[in-house]
Amino acid sequence: MGRWQLLKDRPLGTAVSFSAAHQKYPLNETGTPITWILVRKESGKLFLLSKYILCQKAVDGKESSRVGGNNAYGSSNIDQWLNATAANWYTARHSTDAPPSAGNVTQNPYQSEPGFLSGFSAPAQSMLVAHSLPGVKMAASSGESFKTAKVFLPSQYNLGLYNYDAESTAEGETWPYFESSGQSVTVAKTGINGVAASYWMRTPEAGGNDRMTFVDAVGDGYFKYANANDGSKGIRPCIVIADNATVDTQFDPIDSVYPLYVNDAPAAPTTLSTGLLLQGRPVAINWPASVGSGVSYTLQRSVDGGSFTELVTGLTDTTYTDIVPVAASSYQVRVCAVSARGYASVWKTMDQQQVIVPAPPVISGSDADWGELTAPNTYRYTVTSTSATAMKVTERLVSSGNEMLLRSYVVQPGEENTVQWGLTEWMQLADGSHSLVITAADGTFTTVRTLCFSRTVPAVELSRAIATDAVVSKVFLSVFPTPVGDAAVTCLVSNNPFDQQPVWENCAHNLNLSVHNMQNTTCTGGGGIAYRLKIQKNTADVALDRIVVRFV
């Protein structure tokens, strides 16, 4: 059991009181808030009866047609005063109604006193719950069949006393606390010399329309009658509160009275949102923090319009990850903030959202065979998805069991992308069959786009210039291996490559065979030797390993 315990989980007879900050008036004679005892538990409600007589007041003031006051409790002065929050609380409830002023009650007038609930704080008042009171219509009385109130006097049946004059037991069942305790007969009234005193019940007398019943101070188990305007009888009210009220189990109760904590529920989160809702996938649920110390959260969900079921309680984070049910078509969540004492805010409910059936990413275009390529091919594509907000895309060159990673990155759906490859990657490929492979993965599905091609190099062109100390007169070029087949070979050499207008001489016929004697003798830019070699493939493949240059 935690520190904060629900009052409904405490035994009947548990004594509680509001703090002085929440119940300033009326007070016990010691200047402390009213002591209440738990007398009945009901679904959603707890009944608390004042342990002591609080004061002495008449039930109703004298009226023109009823000099002893009116015993119709539902329209009585005491009912109006007990449920009033204003200082000036009295208003006439029927044509002959009169206030409990000095001329209308025998003693203790209270028309000028503030309403009973005016001394309760707003949070304390918010804990009170309206209750429909069963009533009884006596043969000759003016009593009525029911009354709704938050504060009321107990009936004879509530206290376990028999009403021989009643026509029925319509005033309600005996409260469980009084079924065997015998607590209803005599109650101490501090303030009347510490002796027992009588107090009113709301049950009218059957034989008239102006007398009410009261518990006799003698303590013999019987009740008596008095005019409703008799101000000498005590008031021992009952309040009804919500059953989420808590007490502090770590608090050492004073005189066995536990502090009753008011509803300090925090405000509900102002917003509630989720990520993309996909069948069978995780979804992040987020909300802003509510103000307060020790606030936790309870989260519930509804699937396909069904009842809300709890996902988590006692959560201190403002985010939670749920798994969307595989077969769900709609999804809804709600969250409430809970104070450290267990009081919950109202629910913040998200609108019902449609659940998306996950689908693989889509890469634009289709698989293709590009045939022979002599240079890198520019390729643009777009990746889209109905069920992902971001996807990982990988671009690779694949050939004969080997592969080259071009790029791996995250894309947003709908963005246009261009394959990142150029001459650097192209030159690393051998002639022959290759594939450009693009994959898009969203964590569940992977889509592959394959583009086949053959790398073909129709010609190789090489050139180089070397500085020398003197003008070169002879040069011998060797190419390994020797070009074969029907390849066309062009080879030019120059012995003044650094001049503004170099002279180039054809030596293709000398390649790998003989020395070429340079015809040019003019050199103004400094000595040197340069060559330009081009091998143009026809039908047969040509391999080139190295070039050797010899010169004098």
Is the pLDDT higher at 544 or at 335?
A: 335
Whether the CB-CB separation of 421 and 398 falls below 8 Å is answered with: no
In this prediction, residue 395 has a pLDDT band, given cuts at 50, 70 and 90, of very high
Task: State the chain's mean pLDDT as an integer.
Answer: 87
Using one digit for the tens of pLDDT, what is the confidence trace for 167-216? 445 677 889 998 866 555 555 444 455 667 889 999 888 777 899 999 88
Can you tell me the distance from the alpha carbon of 162 to that of 204, in angstroms, rounded to the nearest whole number? 13
Residues 534/459, Cβ–Cβ less than 8 Å? yes
Lowest mean pLDDT among 16-20, 284-288, 352-356, 414-418: 16-20
pLDDT at 167: 45
Residue 464 CA to residue 462 CA, distance in Å, equals 7
Asked if pLDDT for residue 37 goes beyond 50, the answer is yes
- How many Å is the Cα radius of gyration of the chain? 49
Q: Percentage of residues in the chain with pLDDT exceeding 90?
A: 54
Instruction: Select the CATH number that applies to the domain covering 362-455 from these four: 2.60.40.2950, 2.60.40.10, 1.10.760.10, 3.30.420.40.
Output: 2.60.40.2950
Q: Extract the tokens encoding 290.
A: 């509510």
Per CATH, which fold does 273-354 belong to?
Immunoglobulin-like (2.60.40)
Q: What confidence tier does 428 reach under pLDDT thresholds 50, 70, 90?
A: confident
The H-or-E segment that residue 124 falls in is helix 122-126
Q: List alpha helices for 355-494, DSSP H.
A: 423-426
Task: Give the span between the Cα atoms of 467 and 485, in whole angstroms.
Answer: 34
Decide the pairing of beta strands 309-315 and 296-303: antiparallel
Of residues 101, 61, 84, 46, the one with CA closest to residue 247: 46
The predicted pLDDT at position 163 comes to 53
Predicted confidence band of residue 160 (pLDDT cuts 50, 70, 90): confident
Euclidean distance between CA atoms 185 and 189, whole angstroms: 13
The DSSP result for 51-68, as a single string, is SS--EE--SS---SS-TT
Whole-angstrom Cα distance, residue 438 to residue 450? 7
- Does residue 138 surpass a pLDDT of 70? no
On whether the CB atoms of residues 479 and 395 are closer than 8 A, the answer is: no
Residues 435, 397: contact at Cβ < 8 Å?
yes
* pLDDT tens-digit series, residues 516-537: 999 999 999 999 999 999 888 7
Q: How many CB atoms are closer than 10 A to CB 367?
A: 12
What's the confidence (pLDDT) of residue 216?
82
Q: How far apart are CA 103 and CA 58, in angstroms?
A: 12
Tens digits of residue pLDDT in 461-510: 889 999 999 999 999 999 888 776 678 889 999 999 999 999 999 999 88
The more confident residue out of 300 and 219 is 300
What average pLDDT does range 334-339 have in this prediction? 95
Contact 397/406 with Cβ under 8 angstroms? yes
pLDDT for 324 equals 95
Structure tokens at 332: 């809804």
Query: Is residue 237 within 8 Å of residue 57, measured between CB atoms?
Result: no
At 51-74, the pLDDT tens digits run: 888 889 999 999 998 999 999 898
**How much is the pLDDT for 543?**
73
H/E element, 79: helix 77-82
Same fold, 273-354 and 362-455: yes
Q: What is the Cβ-side half-sphere exposure of residue 51, based on CA atoms within 13 angstroms?
A: 18
The pLDDT of residue 270: 96
Contacts 24+ apart (CB under 8 A), 384-387: 384/413, 384/414, 385/359, 385/360, 385/361, 385/413, 385/442, 386/356, 386/359, 387/276, 387/278, 387/281, 387/356, 387/357, 387/358, 387/359, 387/442
Confidence of residue 98 (pLDDT cuts 50, 70, 90): very high
User: Domain spans of the chain?
Assistant: 1-261, 273-354, 362-455, 459-551
Close Cβ partners of 308 (under 8 Å, ≥ 6 residues apart): 300, 301, 302, 332, 334
Residue 166 pLDDT exceeds 50? no
